[in-house]
Amino acid sequence: MLAESELLKTTEAAVVAGVDVQNVNKLIDEDILPKELYVQNEGRRVLPGGCAAINFYIHTAGILDAMERRRAIRLLSPRLRELLWSSPASDLEQDWAVQNQFVTIDFKSVLAETWKRLHRLAAAHDTVASDPHILGGTPVLKGTRVPVYAVAAQVAAGVPLERIREDYPSLDDEKIELAAIYAKANPPRGRPSPSRIKLLRGAKLDARRSFRGGKAL
């Protein structure tokens, strides 16, 4: 049995796959994502290899039809299931091609892109801390008292990085990006209190703004 640390919540899987969380749930609901690539006990959890399958299915919709995409995922599912967070780079450099008559699909670039985002998510989690003695346990960027969701709200509102740095001098572009990734992967429950989100004057929060994504076809 896989350790829970090897599984991702649907919101985390969406970030790693580069899609909206609705796409993740839709691929599960419609049996497009093979059952061996996710578990459904107390909530849905997706394997890292499942994120690659989701990435492939959504982002090749304009190139391949649904049947061809599903066939490729089904053929590669046993290998994708074996991929973990800690899988060596050599596993990703193997032959990941699937051929069907005159069509050859190479999963290698999909895997590389997915694993890059997987490790950015890991870096985001490592950059955030929650301490009951600091802002009542509100997640903050380590070494600061800057609330993660306040920074992420500014990013979502389209506030330029230089203006966010001016507002939070202790942050650099890297920490700002990781804050946005963390918030996307771990959305707060309910509507956040206005006191928890700090926007610069004139900035507007656009709830529709999100990471790269698309609709399942």
68 and 112, same domain (yes or no): yes
Lowest mean pLDDT among 46-50, 88-92, 161-165, 168-172: 88-92
Mind listing the pLDDT tens digit for each residue in 130-141? Answer: 999 888 889 999
pLDDT of residue 173: 95
115 and 166, same domain (yes or no): no
Burial track 108-144 (b if 16+ CB lie within 10 A, e otherwise): eebbebbbebbeebeebeebbeeeeeeeeebbbbeeb
Give the domain extent around 50: 4-85+94-122
pLDDT of residue 55: 98
d(CA 63, CA 50) in angstroms, rounded, equals 20
60 and 163, same domain (yes or no): no
pLDDT tops 60 at residue 200: no
